Amino acid sequence: MALLISPSILSADLGNLERDLRACEAGGADSIHVDVMDGRFVPNITFGPVMVETCRAITALPLDVHLMIVEPERHLEAFARAGADALTVHYETCPHIHRTLQSIRELGMKAGISFNPGTPLDPLRYLGDVVDQVLIMTVNPGFGGQRYIPVSELKIKDCAALLAEEGSEALIQIDGGVEAANIARNYQAGARSFIAGTAVFRHAGGIAAGIQALRAAVAD
């Protein structure tokens, strides 16, 4: 399966967002990742539907939106209208997770579920039929630029085995501390979609070089 790179605009220069998104396009990004934080589920506050609308007006790349918020079910329609192509919610914030994932699909978006580093993956046994992507957090959510948690590689392997056992073709994503030094190990463990902020937008050679460095690390 192909390697997918999704730059997170959490690390972009928001004063030059169009420039940065164009550079992502030119560099071969597969999608754009938008981290939505509410200051309640996680400490930080970031974006909302208006930012998704802004990105949609700039780029035709798929917009992969990650809701790190409480009561995400209240906002699904707003993000669908804003132009999100995929919407990921946290298992930890959804008491009716099956219904929430169904609703995301009914709104025409891919449905994703995310698990914090300390959350077991067991619920996936009952959700394989309503999940398009599984996002494994490889840092504790809330801030960009954090250091990758090494034990995440084992969790990715467990996730791949569980999905295979359930006959699910859901895509495994990882988010947090992704860089050239660890991406190959995580690809071998079963991850196929990599969300990267600092490694792309703060790369010394520029955005396109950051994307290319991640791809080259897996190819090598």
Among residues 20, 38, 132, 175, which one is catalytic?
A: 175
**Residue 64 vs residues 5, 33, 82, 125, 142: alpha-carbon distances, Å:** 11, 5, 12, 24, 17
- Residue 97: helix, strand or coil by DSSP? helix
Which option is the CATH number for 4-219: 3.20.20.70, 2.40.50.140, 3.30.980.10, 3.30.70.20?
A: 3.20.20.70
In the chain, domain spans: 4-219
35 is catalytic: yes
The 10s digit of each residue's pLDDT in 143-197 is 766 788 989 999 999 999 999 999 999 999 999 999 999 999 999 999 999 999 9
For the chain, how long is the longest CA-to-CA vector?
46
**Average pLDDT of the chain to the nearest whole number:** 95
Residues sharing a CB contact under 8 Å with residue 167, sequence separation 6 or more, in sequence order? 128
Share of the chain above pLDDT 90, in %: 94
Residues sharing a CB contact under 8 Å with residue 74, sequence separation 6 or more, in sequence order? none
158 is catalytic: no
Per-residue pLDDT band at 207 (split at 50, 70, 90): very high
For residue 56, pLDDT over 90 is answered with yes
Residues sharing a CB contact under 8 Å with residue 73, sequence separation 6 or more, in sequence order? 89, 94, 96, 99, 100, 103
Among residues 35, 38, 64, 132, which one is catalytic?
A: 35
Contact 121, 92 (CB under 8 A): no
19's tokens = 């420039």
Contact 183, 213 (CB under 8 A): no
Phi first, then psi: give them for residue 129, nearest 5 degrees: -85, -5
For 56, other C-beta atoms within 10 Å of its C-beta total 16
The 10s digit of each residue's pLDDT in 114-153 is 999 999 999 999 998 999 999 999 999 877 667 889 899 9
Q: What single-letter amino acid sits at 73? A: E
Roughly how many angstroms between the first and final C-alpha of the chain, as a whole number? 16
